[in-house]
Amino acid sequence: MPPMSSSGHFTPAQEGPPKGPISMSFPLAHSAIRTLRARAAAVLGFAAATHLTLDLVYRPWAVQRAFPDFGLTGSFTQVTSVIGISAIMVLVESDWFWQDKWNRVFLSCIPIIAMLSYEVLQLWLPWATFDIRDILWTFVGGALAGAINGFAYDSVKR
């Protein structure tokens, strides 16, 4: 049973590492962590299904009809990759990761930085092709990942 405060109310027990100045005042319950991971698995499944649909259905259709899609046909992998990397990060992070209030920024920025780094690296790889549209679609993917992170994960953390 949790300890009682002087006013007679139950207080949560302090567990784990000490909280820093940017930490939340309470640890997330294990059920909340499971909910986060279940939602991340659903987001990852959605990103994978979207990627396959775009690759196997949309791309051949758009190429055959010369559909003007602002380069999405060749760059949709940037969008689905950023969303998928964010979901994978949620799946593999430890329970204590969720104590930091900067996790949404971290989840949104790291996949974008990773994909942008890969795009810039393609300037020096002889077998790769650098495409400025990939960089633009990476930012679109980052915006979508940020929205999904806010919608899917923030309600659990409140």
Q: Please give, one letter per residue, the 3-state secondary structure of 27-45.
A: CCCHHHHHHHHHHHHHHHH
Cα 72 from Cα 156, distance rounded (Å): 32
pLDDT by residue (tens digit) across 59-69?
999 999 999 99
Extents of the domains making up the chain: 30-157
Q: Hey, what amino acid is at 69?
A: D
Q: Report residue 139: phi and psi, to 5°.
A: -65, -35
pLDDT by residue (tens digit) across 2-32?
555 555 544 555 454 445 444 444 455 667 7
Q: Which two tokens stand for residue 128?
A: 């790769």
Rounded to two decimals, what is the model's pTM?
0.71
